[in-house]
Structures are given as C-alpha cells and as structure tokens.
Chains A and B, each alone.
Chain A
Amino acid sequence: MAHIDLPDLPGIRGLMAFSPETAGPLNELAEILLRDNANSLTRGERELIATYVSALNDCFFCSNVHGAMAGHYLQCDMEGIDRIKGDFASADIPAKLKSLLRIAGSVQKGGKYVTISQITDARTLGATDREIHDTVLIAAAFCMFNRYVDGLGTQAPPDRQYYINRASQRAAEGYLDFELYKYK
C-alpha cells in the first residue's frame, strides 16, 4: 500500500493524478529528455540510460516501463534489455553509448562521482557536449523519478508483460499528452 492515499493507478501515474501541478513539469521534462526528436541520441539510447539508472536505483516500476520502451525502440526483447543493463560493457552496443552509460552510472551514485576521464573517454568516442549534458540530466532526472515512485511506496504491476504491452502505445503518444486513467 502506498504511504499516502492515492488514486488507484500504478507507479508514478497515481502520483501524477494526486498532484497535477507537479505532474505537468515532470511529464514535460520526460518528454524533452527521452522523446524529443531534436536530439542526436536516439530515443532507444535515451530510454536505455533511463532503464540502467532505474535498475541501479532498484526501482521496479521505472526500470520496467523504460526497459520496455528501450526494447520497443531498439527492437530487442526484455531479456536482451536485461542483459545490457546487467553487463553493458560486454553488450553489442556502440562504444560511445557504453561510455555514456558509465557516466550515467556515476551520476546515480552522486554528481561528484563523475570523473574527468569518463568525460574525456565519451568525447574521444564521439559524444558531443550536448550528448554528455543530456546523459547526465537523464541520469539525474531518474534519480528523482525513482525516489518519487518508491519514496511514496507506490504499487507496480508485478507482471513484466504489463509494461511490454503498453510500450508501443506510450511511444506513439509520448509522455505529455496521454490520458492518465485510460490504461489501468
């Protein structure tokens, strides 16, 4: 049971219904960071960063929502996403993305864990300042979203298929203009 009296919706959606005045900017931030097409990181790469950080924060709801989104964009099943987030260093993904995931992993521990050599590595592998910026902010934002979801004890559907079933719809609708109560 959630720590406060929330509408009967899973994960962050109950919180968004409870507090629409904060839900607006939170959704807008998610939309810009993860879905905006004016970005040289693909949606799949950005969702993967969100998934990895959510897994490090042990947030079941967020790691499955965004894992399913990453799988949708990268045409990879949940087992494949699990393998990447469990050991991205040996996964079949671009070296630049690995260097960005390394930065994201440091951000998850705390801002000061990011090292100059991690930044230099990412830049050497072709990451732009904008991509490094967005990686840090996505990782930081999920340190917020994950704490929001688990800090208020929200409920997450335990069946992972639930998240897979909703990914294509969410990819089409985005994080901004969706009907909060439509897909219970």
Chain B
Amino acid sequence: MPYIDIQNDLPGIRGLMAFSPHTAEPMGLLANALLHHSDGLLAAERELIAAHVSYLNDCFYCQHSHAEIACYYLDGDRQLVDQVRTGDDQAAISPKLKALLRVAAKVQQGGKAVQPADIELSRKEGATDKEIHDTVLIAAAFCMFNRYVDGLGATTPADLGSYPPRAKQVAENGYGPHIFSTSQPAGPSVKPL
C-alpha cells in the first residue's frame, strides 16, 4: 500500500500519476520523447536501457514494465530481454548497445561516474552524440521514475502475468494520461518467469 492516500488502486506509477495529474503530464511527455520512437536508438533499445537501469535501482515495477514493453517490440524474445535487463554480457545485442548500457549503468551510480573512456567506447562502436545524450537522459530519468515509485511505496503487482497487457497498451498508444485515465488493460496471463 502506498505511503500516502492516493485515492485509487492503480498499480505502480499509474496510481501516483492519477493522484497528481499535473505532474504526470510532463512526465508522460518526457517518457514519450525518450522512449516511444525509433529516431536514432530503436524504441526496443530505449526500453532495454530503461529496464536495465530500473533493475540496477531494484525497482520491480519499472524493470518488469519496461522489460515487457521491450519484449513486445522484440517479438516476445523474453530470454534476450532478461539477459539485457540483468546485465548479462553474453546477450546477443550490438556492441554499440552494450557500450551504451555501460554508460547508462554509470549514470545510475551518479553523473560523475561517467568517464570519457565510456563515451569514447560508445562512439567507437558507432554511437552518435544524440544517441549518447538520449542514453544518459533515459538512465537519469529512470533514476527519477524508480525513486518516485518506490519512494512513495507504490503498489507493485507481484504477478508477472499482469505486466504484458499494460506493456501492449503503452507500446501501441505511447505514454500519457491514458495509462491512468482509461480502464486498465486486462489480457491473458502469460506463464510467470
């Protein structure tokens, strides 16, 4: 149960956003600008960065929410998504994305943990300035979202089968007030991990 009375029983950040729609609006716009397009980094790559940072911040709701969205984009390749989410070096992803995930993990520790060598490696693997920028801001933004969710003790569904329907809703419609103002998606439960 959340630490404050949010006057609704929506899960995770959805419940907090319904409690505070005026702050939810720019947060939704930010999430859309960072995650819900493939201009430069692919939408799947963006969600993988978000899932990995949320894993490092030990935020159950966010890591599984964004892993499921990545999974939706990657045709259900949950094994790959789980490898990336948990930082498995053997994951079959591009060297560029690996280098950017390293940068994201440094940002999770703190801005000053990012070293010129981390940036150089990303650039050597083909990352543009814009992709490096987006990686840093996605990682930083999830250091906000994760703290918002866990810092207020938001309701976290333990049933992993409840995550894919919400993921599909976001993947298809983007982020924004609809995630808390419309009826919550329900769908067939998938086998828990």
- Cβ–Cβ contact A4 & B132, under 8 A: yes
Contact A133 B152 (CB under 8 A): yes
Interface centre among A21, A36, A136 (most CB of B within 10 A): A136
B40 to chain A, nearest CB (A): 11
Chain A residues within an 8 Å CB radius of B151: 103, 106-107, 111-112, 114, 136, 139-140
Total interface residues on A, using CB and 8 Å?
Answer: 48
Interface residues of B (CB under 8 A from A): 3-6, 16, 19-20, 22-23, 25-27, 29-30, 33-34, 57-59, 103, 106-107, 110-112, 114, 116, 119, 129-130, 132-133, 136-137, 139-141, 143-153
User: What residues of chain A lie closer than 8 Å to B22, measured between beta carbons?
Assistant: 32, 36
Q: Given A25-B27, A146-B111, A148-B111, answer yes or no on A19-B137 (Cβ-Cβ < 8 Å).
A: yes
Q: CA–CA, A15 to B140, complex, Å? A: 13
Residues of A within 8 A of B30 (CB): 22, 25-26, 29
Interface positions of A from 105 to 145, Cβ below 8 Å from B: 106-107, 110-112, 114, 116, 119, 129-130, 132-133, 136-137, 139-141, 143-145
Q: Who on chain A is nearest to B4 by CB?
A: A129
Pair A32/B148 contact, Cβ less than 8 Å: no
Q: Which of A25, A29, A57, A140 contacts B111 (CB 8 A)?
A: A57
Contact of B143 among A19, A136, A147 (CB under 8 A): A147
Find chain A residues with CB under 8 A from B19 CB. Answer: 133
Pairs across A and B, CB under 8 Å, 19 listed: A3-B116, A4-B132, A15-B133, A19-B130, A19-B133, A28-B29, A32-B22, A111-B149, A111-B150, A114-B151, A132-B152, A133-B152, A136-B148, A137-B148, A147-B136, A150-B112, A150-B114, A151-B107, A151-B136
**Distance (whole angstroms) from the CB of B142 to the closest CB of chain A:** 8
In the complex, are the beta carbons of B132 and A3 less than 8 A apart?
yes
Q: Which of B6, B141, B151 has the most CB of A within 10 A?
A: B151
Within 8 A of B (CB), among A16-33: 18-19, 21-22, 24-26, 28-29, 32-33
Complex CA gap A78/B167 in Å reads 47
Closest to A107 in B: B151
Chain A: CB-nearest residue to B135: A151
**Residues of B contacting A114 with CB < 8 Å?**
3, 150-153
A87 sits at the interface (CB 8 A): no
Q: Nearest Cβ distance between residue A56 and chain B, in whole angstroms?
A: 10
Instruction: Annotate A142-184 by CB proximity to B: 1 below 8 A, 0 otherwise.
Output: 0111111111110000000000000000000000000000000
Residues on A with C-beta less than 8 A from B107 are 147, 151
Q: Are A4 and B110 in contact (CB under 8 A)?
A: no
| Given A3-B114, A111-B150, A136-B147, 14 extra CB contacts under 8 A | A25-B27, A28-B26, A110-B146, A129-B5, A132-B3, A137-B148, A140-B144, A146-B111, A147-B139, A148-B136, A148-B140, A150-B112, A151-B140, A152-B133
Interface membership of A77, Cβ < 8 A: no
Q: Please tell me if the beta carbons of B129 and A4 are within 8 angstroms of each other in the complex.
A: yes
Instruction: Select one of B6, B58, B116, B144 contacting A143, CB under 8 A.
Output: B144
Choice from A32, A144, A150 contacting B110 with Cβ under 8 Å: A150
Verify B148–A112 contact, CB threshold 8 A. Answer: no
- Of all chain B residues, the one with the shortest Cβ separation from A24 is B29
- Bound together, the chains give a CA A4 to CA B132 distance in angstroms of 8
Do B147 and A110 touch across chains, with their CB atoms under 8 A apart?
yes
Q: In the complex the two chains form, is A29's CB within 8 Å of B152's CB? A: no
